[in-house]
Amino acid sequence: MAWRRLPILLFLLPCAALAQTLRQEAQQRGILIGTAVNPVFLSEPAYAGTLAREFNMLEPEDAMKWYAIRPDEKTVNFGPADRLVEFAQAHGMKVRGHTLLWGGHDPAWLKTHTPEELSKILREHIERVVGRYRGRVFAWDVVNEAFDDRGALKDSVWHNQPGIGLAGKGTTYIEQAFRWAHEVDPRALLFYNEAGAEGMNEKSDAVYSMVKDFKKRGVPIDGVGLQMHILDLKPDVAGIGANIGRLTALGLQVHITEMDVALPVDAEDNPLHPEDLTRQAEIYGEIATACLRHRGCTALQTWGFTDKYSWIGWFTHKAKGAALPFDRSYKPKPAYNALQEALRPRLRPGN
Ligand code: XIL
């Protein structure tokens, strides 16, 4: 009989009334909630609508990378990046810039230059890109993924192959990029962004030592980005919390910059084990909670938002997917509800 359900209904009603978008929850909680975006999809109403409704920050997934802006020496292409910045402005969203210096995915033409030329090219690039978006991009991933898993600096065109003339001087080339970016936009927050350095390990130790040294010597750095691509459903959440703790204790901000939680999938991108969706939701919730425990953890961002467009399939040769909070039809998944729950302002003291 219907009246028997009345108590349940009365209980659910206020919960439903309280349920808000991620953006609204995040706003009340004082944290930024962002996602990586591709301007090609903005013409799709469900894509643009979900993006503006659920997020208060966006980051170009590829449109501000070297190969997008400078595919060859003569070309400077800001079109796709501009479209994203304009979308963000039209919808009251912040923009995270990504990325000014990354050894991966550099266009081949850079390799033909001497260290002196590369130094000039990098400085001009930073001036051009940071200058163009001054006042519109609030935070930059100045340098991305410079360390290997053992905590050694990776070889790259900027570091030592041939490098910008600072090879053999450790992290000085990274420091130089931060100094140049700061000169162009002293108000932008400058981040070092890394993969696989979320928890406590040799790579995160190397990142920690570098940023501690930067802080001590007054190198203009404001934060560390932890990418958070979770591929195995077994993140070390305690270690991640400890790492966020030691970084924020330096007076740095932490942004979770590229979160996704990949699941084993079939050829149609459906999870092989439906129960994985529950585990995925728990992980989203646990990471959001680990971030929120630290005042200095100021942004949580996913690497895309709909399973329709996610880099994970490409990255894992289609073995994994379904990694994001919305399914391929933009329907919220359990992961969405877990994020919503984690972000919800706590009503009771001690909760
Ligand atoms: C990925 C994009 O998602 C893909 O579209 C592109 O083909 C390759 O790069 N770490 C980063 C991101 O910092 O820039 C990467 O993005 C994912 C891993």
Give the pair of three-digit tokens for residue 30: 């004082």
- With the most atoms of ligand 1 within 8 angstroms of its CB, the residue from 35, 38, 61, 310 to mutate is 61
User: What is the pLDDT at residue 6?
Assistant: 54
Task: Say if residue 30 is exposed, middle or buried (CB neighbours under 10 Å; 0-12, 13-18, 19+).
Answer: exposed
| SS3 assignment, position 349 | coil
Q: What is the mean pLDDT of the chain?
A: 94
Residue in the structure block whose two tokens are 């894509």? 47
User: What is the pLDDT at residue 324?
Assistant: 98
Q: Is 62 in the pocket of ligand 1 (CB under 6 A)?
A: yes
The Å distance, Cα 218 to ligand 1 centre, comes to 30
**Which one is predicted more confidently, 55 or 5?**
55
- With the most atoms of ligand 1 within 8 angstroms of its CB, the residue from 257, 311, 312 to mutate is 311
Q: Is the pLDDT of residue 236 over 50?
A: yes
Question: Which atom of ligand 1 has the smallest separation from the CA of 193?
Answer: 13
Contacts of 335 (CB under 8 A, 6+ apart): 261, 277, 280, 281, 284, 324, 325
pTM tops 0.85, yes or no:
yes
Confidence of residue 322 (pLDDT cuts 50, 70, 90): very high
